[in-house]
Structure 1
């Protein structure tokens, strides 16, 4: 009798377990269907923000670094310095050349004053020679003076006229040299200002407020023009960067609501709206964009970038304060389908 009763009980327990498993499977299937019907889900998402790359504009070894990863910086703060000894020497040389030009200009102005005085003397001599010539001319016509005396007076008058012309030409030359000297000084001023501006490039300045997210060099490194030295995370505006499969893109619209969770805060649910939809798939701007010209082609689902705002956060069903968020945190997003 005992063996018969045991065999009767065993099938009934197996049936109960089978029913329980079926019920659980149905519940899981229902939840999946409910979630699929209401949400577009993806875990290819993370927090993102604006980042600024700070690069060098000149070449030189880094000699000092004032900011490190995690430091908060303000716009205009000096982050690092490059060796500027060569450009300082160029600046000193340019200043010395300018001083020499100023001294030469003063000399040219003195030469101009001398040329003006020489012209005055030449004009006096010319007028005196002209008077003597006119007088001897009249006397020669009456044979009161010899031909030799008259000829000397005429030659003196002509030579003094030439000296007047030469004095005028010298004044023109002096004025041209002064104008050239003033232009050279203006050019030297521009060169000095340009060198001073270049000297400023040897100081690496923070272009915006933020936090040093990454430093890419150390003191002693030889820096090249255009080389990124720091990456600053502004941290003012954070959003969720989502890369959604193209097969789920059909019903996506701007302003569509979304819920998401962060791996860092599993008990919190964040809400936001789609405020950006990319016009290209993410692969279009990858380092190695797809090229199917060779014929070796494997079709994969492309992903379209979206941006979702971070509007509020709830713990359960009640709103709570916004926790500390950091760019790069992983997120799981559920975009609410529009009915």
Structure 2
């Protein structure tokens, strides 16, 4: 019996020593990790959530995406009713085409009138030129006739020729003088007609004004048409980002006001971990420190990360109105500061809001230096 008791005591001592050593080892391990790591259980996946809203009032005609669909920038998501705007666009388009035709007509009239007047002016100038040549010839003949009449008068006075020749020369001169008078009158009439033709060019100026007014009307209609097209495009809601449709708040046929939130998107490639670190640990953190990440959704896997941003304002200051800040500080609550962690290797499925635990390797803490 005494031997058995001694054996039992020995075994108990060995077991006790083993557990003491085990406990000491565990304590040393925990102490080492506490001195070289910062743990935080208040962490979750974050992403930039894009909230898509309507810019105008209206009824939803079609919803072209479902929750979980992958979309790209510019993809059509929602079509709102635009029947009234389409009617206005069609009416304005018809009016615009009519106004353009009117402008084209004015320009054609101007061109035709310009060509016609130029032709008439050219013809009349040639006519005046011809009349002046004819008048010059008549004046030359009249001058010669006057000289001949003077010579005949002299001969008659000397009885060297008959009075009949004098009468013939006088009649001839009188006839030439009449022709000169008629020619001069014809030139004056032609010149007046030329002035009348030139005066008709004022119609071109009137047509120019009509063209300017018509062009202004065309530009006004184009501007109105563009405004309606912009308004119609605002009823075709497109994706502003590459991402996944997270939730759709509205249904087809539902009437919505402007600024109404319709759906939420996020880019699955643009995610990070946000850990809210206690202020007494923040001095140990630096950009680029490696991080071990555990997700509740993946209990048997660990993932790698890296510190990419350390906040410069506490969560309480971000969350509370200014009037409440003094009361928070007076209570001396432990403050937390947001820290962003980049996911180096991502889980297969990630969703903003998923819970995580982070283990930031800091090597050693300040009091060890």
Task: Please indicate, yes or no, whether the TM-score normalized by the shorter chain is above 0.5.
Answer: yes
Q: RMSD of the TM alignment (CA)? A: 4.1
- Which runs of 5 or more residues in structure 1 are unaligned? 1-18, 314-321
Tell me the equivalent position of 1:3: none
Aligned counterparts of 1:240 and 1:294: Cα–Cα separation in 2: 30
Structure 2: how far apart are the matches of 1:311 and 1:113?
74
Q: When the two structures are aligned, how many residues end up with a matched partner?
A: 307
1:335 aligned partner: 360
Aligned to 2:163: none
1:43 match: 41
Q: Which residue number in structure 1 is paired with residue 266 of structure 2? A: 233
SS of the residue 1:165 aligns to: helix
Equivalent in the alignment of 2:322: 290
Deviates more, 1:110-119 or 1:64-73: 110-119
What pairs up with 1:8-47 in 2 under 5 angstroms?
Answer: 33-47=31-45
Match of 2:110 among 93, 109, 112: 112
1:326–1:106 distance in 2 versus 1, CA, 3 Å: closer
SS of 1:99's equivalent? helix
Deviation at 1:237, TM superposition (A): 3.7
CA distance in structure 1 between the partners assigned to 2:87 and 2:202 by the alignment: 41
Query: How far, CA to CA, are the matches of 1:294 and 1:271 in structure 2?
Result: 39
Deviation at 1:157, TM superposition (A): 5.7
Matched, 1:177 2:210: yes
Equivalent residue of 2:357, what SS? Answer: strand
Q: TM-score, normalised by structure 1?
A: 0.72
Larger relative helix fraction: 2
The two structures have a TM-score, normalised by structure 2, of 0.67
Any stretches of 5+ residues in structure 2 without a counterpart? 1-15, 143-172, 365-369
8 Å CA contact 2:317, 2:325 repeated in 1: no
Flag the 1:336–1:290 CA change in 2: closer, same or farther, 3 A.
farther
Residues 112/61 of structure 1: CA separation in 2 closer, same or farther (3 Å cut): same
- The equivalent residue for 1:325 is 350
Separation in structure 2 between the aligned mates of residue 152 and residue 292 of structure 1, nearest angstrom: 106
1:311 to 344, 355, 367: 344
Cα distance, 1:289 vs structure 2: 3.8
- SS at 1:90 equivalent: helix
Question: Which of 240, 263, 266 is the matching residue for 2:296?
Answer: 263
* 1:1-339 equivalence runs, <5 A: 33-116=31-114, 117-118=116-117, 120-121=119-120, 124=123, 131=131, 156=189, 159-182=192-215, 184-185=217-218, 188-189=221-222, 191-286=224-319, 288-291=320-323, 298=330, 299-312=332-345, 322-339=347-364
SS of residue paired to 1:254 = coil
